[in-house]
Amino acid sequence: MRIGISCYATLGGSGAVATELGKALAKRGHEVHFIVSGIPFRLGLFQEGIYVHEVETANYPVLQSTPYDLALAAKMAEVIERYDLDILHVHYAIPYAVCAFLANEMLGDRKIPIITTLHGTDITVLAQDPLLRDVIRLGIEKSHAVTAVSQSLIDQTNELFSPKCPIIKVYNFVDTDAYHRTEQIGWRHHIAPNDEPILLHMSNFRAVKRIPDVISIFRRVRDRVAAKLLLVGEGPELDKAWKQVDELDLKRDVIFLGKRDEVASLLSLADLLLLPSAKESFGLVALEAMACGVPVIGTGIGGIPEVVEHGVSGYLTDLGEVEKMADYAITLLQDRSLWQIFSDQARTRALAFSLPEKVNDYEQLYERLLTVKKGGAPCVG
């Protein structure tokens, strides 16, 4: 198949999943065309069967802002026609699903099936805005199939939109061959010279990730256990995080690493992952951490409980319970036998979300869509 994929190219779970899916599809012999604003951050080195088409925009004085959405729709239509794509898989309802619909409208009789994968913020945040809700509804209704990354997200979408076609659950995945615990002796000694346990948080540093809670949890842990905290990523809450670390006199024990590509190596350094998010439709970083044998301390909201089993592969609390999260972290850090049990169980749990199985799910869905298109049915659910 010739498959188009459009997603955010920047740091985040939706772009990571879309890129890893495209790479896996190309390895299976499909021709994959990424239609994106820039090189996807997880794409890596050249791979046969993968093409990247960057959306170009221009500034016009008559327009109040750069018309990226229109440029994206035009690029989608161009790539579909030029490369004779069979299917277009977009990740995020807005702008991608809406732009895909516009692209199909431009193509007239050359329309192709559109599959939209909902990843979370498009529903849990953007769809709460009355100005955007009907635009998101349009993107969902005009898709030929809609998937979501957790049952929690399906429930929220159904409550908001009551879509005509059932939403299909396809969990996010992890490449467990690439994500497994490896020894990082030199790097670990540099970060924790006295073999202190290492806690890690990795995100795009948006307010929903509750970075102040991450730092507060760590402060409580460090009051009782000598430890280090790695903060990986960048975003709007970064400056506040620096100030909080300074005010709490934690600068010697908190290391800001910025954006990094070597995710599996970083996770292999960690003893615990902190994920106290206010909203998390799946929590891809939790799954990747578990694949590397890292137990998760987080909130039991959204799709996280569908991934992390409380008391088995980590501990989950209600939102904002930083003291309880710190207590759970200390329990695991002070009992290495218990930590090892949780680490092994985390790895076992991650194997249930393997890359090959989920790629099979998407391949089968693509094939169903192409069959349905020939039969004239409006959508697949």
Q: What is the pLDDT of residues 337-363, one digit of tens each?
A: 999 999 999 999 999 999 999 999 999
pLDDT for residue 39? 81
Q: For residue 294, what pLDDT band results from cuts at 50, 70 and 90?
A: very high
Tell me: pLDDT of 237 over 60.
Answer: yes
Q: In what order do the strands lie in the sheet with 168-169?
A: 50-54, 31-36, 2-6, 87-91, 114-118, 145-148, 168-169
pLDDT for residue 377? 54
- pLDDT digits 0-9 by tens, 162-189: 998 999 999 999 999 999 999 888 888 8
* Domain parsing of the chain, residue ranges: 2-173+354-375, 185-353
Tell me: pLDDT of 41 over 80.
Answer: no
> How far is the C-alpha of 204 from the C-alpha of 295, rounded, in Å?
20
Tell me: pLDDT of 269 over 90.
Answer: yes
Tell me: pLDDT of 1 over 80.
Answer: yes
User: In the chain, what percentage of residues exceed pLDDT 70?
Assistant: 97
Which residues does 154 contact at the CB level (< 8 Å), separation at least 6?
A: 148, 167, 169
Q: Is 198 helix (H, G, I), strand (E, B) or coil?
A: strand
Side-chain half-sphere exposure of 290, counting CA atoms within 13 A = 31
Q: Whole-model pTM?
A: 0.90
Tell me: pLDDT of 309 over 90.
Answer: yes
- In this structure, how many other beta carbons lie within 10 angstroms of the beta carbon of residue 60? 10
- pLDDT digits 0-9 by tens, 58-109: 777 766 667 889 999 999 999 999 999 999 999 999 999 999 999 999 999 8
Q: Please tell us whether the domain made up of 2-173+354-375 is placed in CATH 3.40.50.2000.
A: yes
pLDDT for residue 290? 98
pLDDT for residue 42? 73
Q: For residue 380, what pLDDT band results from cuts at 50, 70 and 90?
A: confident
pLDDT for residue 57? 82
Please state which CATH class domain 185-353 belongs to: alpha beta
Q: Which of residues 381 and 6 earns the better pLDDT score? A: 6
> How far is the C-alpha of 366 from the C-alpha of 358, rounded, in Å?
13
Tell me: pLDDT of 378 over 70.
Answer: no
> How far is the C-alpha of 303 from the C-alpha of 160, rounded, in Å?
17
> How far is the C-alpha of 316 from the C-alpha of 361, rounded, in Å?
29
Q: Name the packing angle between helices 336-350 and 284-291 (round to 10°).
A: 110
Fold match, 2-173+354-375 / 185-353: yes
